[in-house]
């Protein structure tokens, strides 16, 4: 679906942007001067048409602050304690995650260049501090689907540091003060919590209009815009890491054993009651046998007291946000940007400063 969305717009931008930029170009031809900078390619053609003053300076550095919140869904969870696979007892279904969300705060550094008059390419690097908040209420069911043991809800937050880096490109088109853009970037995040890096794809489309703020300085303007952003994990095959349950959920060990022993004792009272029917007695005996197996397996594995390996597959509950933002350009060199994205299960805030410059051709 994303390919069907992006390809037609990309073709339109590539063709039309040969003739227009984000503020609108006149069709006055002028061959009296030479375009001074090494980029963009076809810069001289733009100069020949008398429209070079509408181009941004070709190179830029950006420093942005980014804050994000996302709701997540755990679709698969596996545990390995030593050489013992506990997936049959401890998994996404039995752990019963009631809430999983992540927050990140970070500084994003970006270097970019206008390779073509309508095409910008960039590299990004981010330092991130964040946290993952998890709530779960473990429950085990018997063969008939009835809950035979349920623990109280536990919550925990794990903080982490991460580094992210990636590449991206932006295609632009504009006419008579209106502008639109399509942006796509791919990044990878490295954190101590996970053994493997996480791939992340971001795609966005924006539409806006520029308003001049000074009659004397035509480069001083503001461009509010709105748009949509798609973000999701790439190669969602899951990732592995290590965890110590006693550090994350310090009360889980005692509560687990108390609840099991209490449930077994309650079942045994009904089993010993002469008024309990034979089918019900057999059901309770089967439950107690299963509970003993769960308790012995978990305790013997050292699940609560040792560091264990885990595998997790998580997905964003929502992948699309609505974006609102602005570009405030002071002159050809400096620009301020702010953007806010919102959805039911996501929030995104970005603000940053951009500096642009040109590298002149030899001999100029």
Find out whether the peptide bond into 40 is cis, omega within 30 degrees of 0.
yes
According to the model, what pLDDT value does residue 19 have? 37
As a whole number of angstroms, the distance between CA 181 and CA 172 comes to: 4
Q: What is the pLDDT of residue 195?
A: 66
Domain ranges of the chain: 2-244+307-357
* pLDDT of 132: 87
pTM metric for this prediction: 0.78
- pLDDT tens digits for 250-264? 778 888 899 999 999
Please give the CATH number for the structural domain made up of 2-244+307-357: 2.40.128
Q: What are phi and psi of 51, to 5 degrees?
A: -120, 10
**Residue 4 Cα distances to 184, 225, 236, angstroms:** 15, 24, 21
What is the structure's pLDDT at 8? 38
Helix, coil or strand: residue 32: coil
Residues 6 or more apart in contact with residue 120 via CB below 8 angstroms: 112, 113, 114, 169, 170, 171, 172
Using DSSP's 3-state secondary structure scheme, residue 4 falls into helix
Q: What is the pLDDT of residue 356?
A: 97
No. of helices (H) and no. of strands (E), the chain: 6, 16
Quickly list H helices, 64-148: 92-95
267-274, long-range: CB < 8 A, 24+ apart:
267/291
Give the pLDDT of the chain (364 residues) as one tens digit per residue: 444 334 434 433 433 343 333 343 333 334 458 889 999 999 889 888 888 888 899 999 999 999 999 999 888 888 887 777 888 888 888 888 888 999 999 999 999 999 999 999 999 999 999 888 889 888 998 888 888 888 888 888 888 889 999 999 999 988 888 999 999 999 998 877 666 778 889 999 999 999 999 999 989 999 999 999 999 887 656 677 777 777 777 778 888 899 999 999 999 999 999 999 999 999 999 999 999 999 998 888 887 777 778 888 888 888 999 999 999 999 999 999 999 999 989 999 999 999 999 999 887 6
**CA 241, 245, 247 angle in degrees (round to 5)?**
100
Contact 71, 100 (CB under 8 A): yes
DSSP letters spanning 170-230: EEEEEETTEEEEEEEEEEEEEETTBSS-EEEEEEEEEEEE-EE--SS-TT-EEEEEEEEEE
CA dihedral sign, ordered 292, 294, 298, 304:
negative
Calpha distance 227→51 (Å, rounded): 27
71's tokens: 């709701």
3-state secondary structure of 49: coil
């Amino acid at each position: 679906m994303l390919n069907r969305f992006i390809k037609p717009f990309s073709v339109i931008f590539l063709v039309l942007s040969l003739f227009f930029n984000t503020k609108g170009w006149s069709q006055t031809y002028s061959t009296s001067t030479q375009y001074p900078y090494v980029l963009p390619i076809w810069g001289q053609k733009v100069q020949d048409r008398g429209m070079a003053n509408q181009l941004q300076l070709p190179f830029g550095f950006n420093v942005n602050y980014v804050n994000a919140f996302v709701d997540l869904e755990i679709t698969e969870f596996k545990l390995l304690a030593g050489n013992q696979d506990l997936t049959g007892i401890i998994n996404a279904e039995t752990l019963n995650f009631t809430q999983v969300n992540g927050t990140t705060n970070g500084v994003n550094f970006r270097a970019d260049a206008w390779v073509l008059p309508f095409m910008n390419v960039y590299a990004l690097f981010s330092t991130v501090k964040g946290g993952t908040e998890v709530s779960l209420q473990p429950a085990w069911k018997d063969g008939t689907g009835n809950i035979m043991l349920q623990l109280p809800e536990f919550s925990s937050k794990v903080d982490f540091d991460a580094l992210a880096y990636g590449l991206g490109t932006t295609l632009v088109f504009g006419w008579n003060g209106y502008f639109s853009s399509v942006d796509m970037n791919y990044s990878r995040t490295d954190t101590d919590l996970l053994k493997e890096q996480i791939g992340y794809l971001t795609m966005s489309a924006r539409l806006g209009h520029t308003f001049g703020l000074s009659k004397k300085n035509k480069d001083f303007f503001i461009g509010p815009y709105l748009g949509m952003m798609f973000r999701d994990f790439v190669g969602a095959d899951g990732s592995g890491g290590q965890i110590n349950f006693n550090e994350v959920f310090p009360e889980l060990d005692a509560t687990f054993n108390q609840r099991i022993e209490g449930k077994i004792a309650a079942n045994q009272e009904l089993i010993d009651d002469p008024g309990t029917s034979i089918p019900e007695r057999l059901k309770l005996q089967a439950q107690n046998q299963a509970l003993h197996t769960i308790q012995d397996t978990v305790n013997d594995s050292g699940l609560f007291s040792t560091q264990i390996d885990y595998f997790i597959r998580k997905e964003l509950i929502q992948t699309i946000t609505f974006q609102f933002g602005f570009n405030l350009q002071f002159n050809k060199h400096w620009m301020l940007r702010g953007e806010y994205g919102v959805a039911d299960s996501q929030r995104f805030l970005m603000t940053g400063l951009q500096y642009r410059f040109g590298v002149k051709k030899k001999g100029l």
